[in-house]
Amino acid sequence: MQDPEIKEEKSILRRREPYNFMLGLGIFGMSLMFFILTMLYLNRQARPDWVRFEMPAVFWVSTILILLSSLTLHAANVSIRREAFFFYRLWISLTLGLGLAFIGMQLWGWMLLQGQGITLQKSISGAFLYVISGLHIAHLLGGIWFLVVAWVEALRYRKYVDSFIYSVNPPNQLRIRLITKYWHFVDALWLYLFCFFTYFTAS
Is residue 7 scored above 80 in pLDDT? no
Domains and CATH numbers, the chain: 4-200 (1.20.120.80)
Measured CA to CA, the distance from residue 181 to residue 174 in angstroms comes to 10
pLDDT digits (tens, 9 = 90+) for 103-117: 999 999 999 998 888
Predicted local confidence at residue 1, as pLDDT: 46
Contact indicator for 188, 30 with CB cutoff of 8 Å: no
Predicted local confidence at residue 11, as pLDDT: 53
* Number of neighbouring beta carbons within 10 Å of residue 125: 20
Measured CA to CA, the distance from residue 148 to residue 151 in angstroms comes to 5
Q: How far is CA 37 from CA 56, 120, 127, 131, 135, in A?
A: 21, 16, 12, 9, 11
Contact indicator for 154, 88 with CB cutoff of 8 Å: yes
